[in-house]
Amino acid sequence: MNREKAFTFYLLAISLLGMIFAFIVTFRYGAGLATDGARYLSTAENLINGHGFIEYLGVPLTQFPPLYSILIAIVGSVTRADVFVIAQYLNILTFGLTIWLAGKFFRNLFPDNLLYAYVGSGVFVTSVSLLRMASNILSDLLFLALSIVFLIVSTNFIESPSRRNLLTLGLLCAASPLLRYAGLTHILTASVIILLIHRSEWLKGILRAGIFGLLTSLPTLLWIYFHNYLQTGILFGTRLPPNPQGNLETTIEKAVHWFVPYSVTDRIPEWLIIVLLLLVLITGNRIADWRNWGRRIVNSKFLPNLIFLFLYVNVLIFNVSYSEVRWRFMDRIHIILLPSLLAIGVVTFRELLPFYLRRFSTRTLQTAALIVFVLWLAYPLNGIQETLRSAYHNGETSEYNIYNTRAQYESGIREFVESLTMTPEDKVYSNYEPVAWFYSRRTILKLPQGPVNPEPPDPDEVLKNYPDWPGDDGAGYVIWMKELGFKEYVLSPEQLASKANFELLFFSKQGDVYRITPK
């Protein structure tokens, strides 16, 4: 068996292994679900039912672009399967695809050495962060796969700027921001590449890059204007303001912890680890070595990674809400950097190897690097086995999963809600609208609520803003979740008793179901 065939079998094996990991995490109770996932799924179900791009609150989908929901809806229309199950298996398949693409990506970057492709794809299959993404209803993993394809195609275009490669690049760039708005960085990266290809004729380069950027961003611009802005007055959904310093710090922290355990950084700060690495590189190399490194990272294979890395880091710093990403586990937006970061890291390791290590043969250094990698695998594999063991008994247990936990699954709320005979006129209310949609598959109405504040609101003051609630046609059901505990500003059925009659139909530790009748 030749080396290429062996590598192909290796890629196939670890891709299947990754899918098995994701299946084990999700097979007992299904994929994890949070607010973002409920938006995607409810929109997909409304598309299947002919209601358009409408999410669970009965309002147009503006927080995210439509492509992920469209893909789920297409599969649902053909198979008649439930959108939740479709998304679960779509992400499992996407995890395997991402691992496969990672192997091809590193093989393309380092054609002279298969070791880097083995190691690079090994990092992906053992990534706990990627496994969590594959086990929850999220579009980020598909966006990561699309980003890897984009980087491969960008390299091909630089090496052979044919019309065919340009068309392929353009189609990818047009689709990318329809999956995630951050895909606009793909368009910017490709436009910069086109400009640099024509750097000897700057006016021609500016014209071609501008036309490319305009044409590839046109589908997204049309979506934003006609669907988002004209209907809601919102361009990219509602977002909290960024904190650039906090975003920079948390981006560095998350990137370091893809490779270094928290048990280490609890003793040695992330910034000190980075400083020590820089000192090793600076003291171990001459100016000529740095020049060679500079020439290498701007060649056709690494330039797309360098440009994309720079642009996407700026998105993370200046456009992301710090309050949403400051948590340790919340790296699904950041891990899109992983392929480019690994690519630049590996080429830096190769070109800036300290002079005191160069006296060893290449074979010796590669053997040592492989041993270090095998030892390092203990870190991610420990996280993988902990995740799998926990999931075997409790289902998906990451912090991403808010609305499909074992406790909620076994509480019986979902089965009871599904057993209700609801009429088209019945309204469904909840303090946690995404989970109420998940159980009822109906448009969910918000209950009266005060300002977002950790302190409980004054019910009398809140109700002044809802003089006619729930209205003469407001009869229906209330799904009241009790254990989630982060929306104390929503008035409870007891606090709303002056406005409506509440008949308790179902009681559990996780939540209750009421029949509501206006007074």
**pLDDT tens string 445-497:** 999 999 887 778 899 999 999 999 999 999 999 999 998 876 889 999 999 99
Count of all residues that appear for the chain in the document: 519
- pLDDT, residue 321, reads 87
- 153 close to 168: Cβ distance less than 8 angstroms: yes
Q: What is the pLDDT of residues 68-118, one digit of tens each?
A: 999 999 999 999 999 999 999 999 999 999 999 999 999 999 998 999 999
Q: Give all strands of the β-sheet with 444-446 in edge-to-edge order.
A: 444-446, 427-430, 476-481, 511-518, 500-506
- pLDDT, residue 362, reads 86
Q: What is the pLDDT of residues 212-261, one digit of tens each?
A: 999 999 999 999 999 999 999 888 877 788 899 999 999 999 999 999 99
Tokens 């809601």 belong to residue = 232
Q: How many CA atoms lie within 13 A of 508 on its CB side?
A: 19
User: What average pLDDT does this structure show over 44-55?
Assistant: 97
User: What average pLDDT does this structure show over 262-278?
Assistant: 92
Residue 422 in domain: yes
Q: What is the mean pLDDT of the chain?
A: 94
Question: β-pairing, 500-506 with 511-518?
Answer: antiparallel
Q: What is the pLDDT of residues 282-319, one digit of tens each?
A: 999 999 999 999 999 999 999 999 999 999 999 999 99
Backbone angles phi, psi at 444, to 5 degrees: -105, 135
Please tell me the least confidently modeled range out of 361-365, 429-433, 501-505.
361-365
Say whether 352 sits in a helix, a strand or coil. coil
Residue 2 — very low, low, confident or very high, per pLDDT cuts 50/70/90?
confident
61 pLDDT above the threshold of 90? yes
- pLDDT, residue 1, reads 65
Residue 299 in domain: no
- 257 close to 264: Cβ distance less than 8 angstroms: no
Question: β-pairing, 444-446 with 427-430?
Answer: parallel
d(CA 17, CA 124): 11
Residue 385 — very low, low, confident or very high, per pLDDT cuts 50/70/90?
very high
Residue 454 identity (one-letter amino acid)? P
178 pLDDT above the threshold of 80? yes
Range of the domain at 44: 1-138
d(CA 212, CA 197): 13
Residue 118 in domain: yes
Residue 14 in domain: yes
Residue 292 in domain: no
- pLDDT, residue 45, reads 98
Share of the chain above pLDDT 70, in %: 100
Residue 360 in domain: no
Locate 4 and state its tokens. Answer: 């290429």
Residue 256 in domain: no
Please tell me the least confidently modeled range out of 15-19, 236-240, 316-320, 361-365.
236-240
Q: Which residues pair with 518 in a beta bridge?
A: 500
Residue 176 in domain: no
Tell me how many degrees the CA angle 170-94-187 measures, rounded to the nearest 5: 20
- pLDDT, residue 195, reads 96
Of 91, 118, 138, which closes a domain?
138
Please state the three-class secondary structure of 453-497 as a single string. Answer: CCCCCCHHHHHCCCCCCCCCCCCEEEEEECCCCCCCCECCCCCCC
d(CA 321, CA 333): 11
- pLDDT, residue 519, reads 87
Instruction: Give exposure, 189-198, as e/b (b: 16+ Cβ within 10 Å).
Output: bbbbbbbebb
Q: What is the CA radius of gyration of the chain?
A: 26
- pLDDT, residue 325, reads 84
- pLDDT, residue 183, reads 97
- 432 close to 33: Cβ distance less than 8 angstroms: no
- pLDDT, residue 484, reads 85
Of 138, 167, 197, which closes a domain?
138
341 pLDDT above the threshold of 80? yes
Q: How many independent structural domains does the chain possess?
A: 2
- pLDDT, residue 383, reads 94
Say whether 445 sits in a helix, a strand or coil. strand
Closest by Cα among 56, 32, 30 to 45: 56
DSSP 428: E
Closest by Cα among 36, 44, 48 to 72: 44
Of 80, 107, 138, which closes a domain?
138
Which segments of 190-313 are extended strands (E)?
none
- 38 close to 434: Cβ distance less than 8 angstroms: yes
Please tell me the least confidently modeled range out of 85-89, 181-185, 230-234, 425-429.
230-234
Task: Please give the distance of CA 128 from its chain centroid, rounded to a whole number.
Answer: 13
- 427 close to 166: Cβ distance less than 8 angstroms: no
